[in-house]
Amino acid sequence: MRAFTKTKYGGPEVLTLEDVPKPAVSEDSVLVKVKANSANPADWHILRGKPWFARLTFGLLRPKDKILGADFSGIVEEVGESVGQFQVGDRIFGETLMGGAFAEYLVAKEQVCGKMPQGARFDEMACVPIAGLTALQALTTQGKLKKGESVLINGASGGVGHFTVQIAKAFGAKVTAVCSTKNLDFVRSLGADLVIAYDREDIHQHQGDYDLVVDIHGNLSHRDFTRMGKRGVLVGFTTMGHMMTVMLKGAFSKFPLTQFTARANTNDLETLAAMIQDSEIKVHIEKRYAFREIPRAISYIEKMRTRGKVAMIWDED
Ligand SMILES: NC(=O)c1ccc[n+]([C@@H]2O[C@H](COP(=O)([O-])OP(=O)(O)OC[C@H]3O[C@@H](n4cnc5c(N)ncnc54)[C@H](OP(=O)(O)O)[C@@H]3O)[C@@H](O)[C@H]2O)c1
């Protein structure tokens, strides 16, 4: 099968499309014929081995895992002996953070997969796992958002942000969203009640008062969180130094602030699938690339200016 492989850390130029053996299914996993992928900042962090502490997980001197890629959608070709939720022929989507998804076939543990909604397209469902799970878990598990509460979403126009705005609205929150001027109309179209352009108004001077502040971009200071919110969730980071400073200040403050890494599970994936089925969430795909152009897709999202998501297609059918 064809797959994008890497043997050293570096930019998208270190990725090679080559023939590799098809992976073998294990007891608690499924073999998936991949139809589509999406790109996430995690892909270029893992590809570059940055920030450096990521190398403790992904390989100290060179990458442990040969095939890059996390988000996928596709069709189940084989199931392991203990797999109970999926059958051959099921249309599924999911996330393998340790890699393997930028390939014609992948093996994934059943608990990181969910069934696709009836009639959903492979390209749109490949865009959901990391960004959708992060949005859902930031608002619910971490942010404890309740109906009628107000939420500020900083970084509302990208992959995570565009899902966060829609999920918060679906949960009955009052949403104020922060993005650049060029994305104001896009973010309004997602349902935000109020939109702030960070290139017109300094968010660090903003005097709003919110039940929850979700910082997806990762440039808010600890003072920004305490000035604007009653509780906060830190999703992304601009520099490691900035994130460490915010969390260190958080450790010595009573302000409820959490930082987390989203975890895939079937329950949350199928919650997202149901919201898509019920048209509570729409996946916005800014760009589609053919699978051969996966390195270009990674280069594009590395600019951190994506509107919605970027999908990569292995097979249109
Ligand atoms: N904790 C977790 O589990 C987790 C999971 C997924 C992602 N993340 C992190 O979350 C962050 C966002 O991920 P993503 O997938 O949404 O990335 P993305 O799709 O590449 O989107 C990046 C977004 O950042 C926005 N942005 C750039 N400068 C900004 C600024 N000064 N203020 C506010 N927004 C700004 C851009 O909007 P404009 O073009 O409008 O400026 C763009 O929409 C990344 O740091 C990623 O590593 C964390």
Give the Cα separation of 48 and 55 in Å (integer). 10
Query: E strands of the chain, at which residues?
Result: 2-5, 16-19, 29-38, 71-79, 91-95, 105-109, 113-115, 150-154, 174-179, 194-197, 210-215, 229-234, 257-259, 285-290, 309-313
Q: Is there a common fold for 2-128+283-313 and 131-259?
A: no
- The verdict on the CB of residue 39 being under 6 Å from ligand 1 is no
- The verdict on the CB of residue 129 being under 6 Å from ligand 1 is no
Distance between Cα 240 and ligand 1 center (Å) = 15
Distance between Cα 112 and ligand 1 center (Å) = 23
Atom number, ligand 1, closest to the C-alpha of residue 260: 1
Distance between Cα 130 and ligand 1 center (Å) = 12
Which residues partner with 151 through β-bridges?
Answer: 175, 212
CATH of domain 131-259: 3.40.50.720
Choice from 306, 307, 310 to test ligand 1 binding pocket (greatest atom count within 8 A of CB): 306
Distance between Cα 103 and ligand 1 center (Å) = 25
For the chain, which residues score pLDDT lower than 70?
316-317
The fold adopted by the segment(s) 2-128+283-313 is Quinone Oxidoreductase; Chain A, domain 1 (3.90.180)
CB atoms within 10 A of CB 83: 20
Atom 26 of ligand 1 has which residue's CA nearest to it? 155
- The verdict on the CB of residue 137 being under 6 Å from ligand 1 is no
- Interior angle at CA 268, CA 159 and CA 133, nearest 5: 20
Give the per-residue pLDDT at 98.
84
Tokens standing for residue 303 = 């600019």
Distance between Cα 229 and ligand 1 center (Å) = 20
Query: What is the number of helices (H) and of strands (E) in the chain?
Result: 10, 15
Give the per-residue pLDDT at 84.
95
Residue with token string 């939720």? 85
Give the per-residue pLDDT at 315.
83
- The verdict on the CB of residue 40 being under 6 Å from ligand 1 is yes
Which residue ranges make up each domain of the chain? 2-128+283-313, 131-259
- The verdict on the CB of residue 162 being under 6 Å from ligand 1 is no
Give the per-residue pLDDT at 317.
64
Distance between Cα 216 and ligand 1 center (Å) = 6
Contact 38, 311 (CB under 8 A): yes
Give the Cα separation of 290 and 201 in Å (integer). 38
Atom number, ligand 1, closest to the C-alpha of residue 40: 15
Compute φ and ψ for 151, nearest 5 degrees. -135, 135
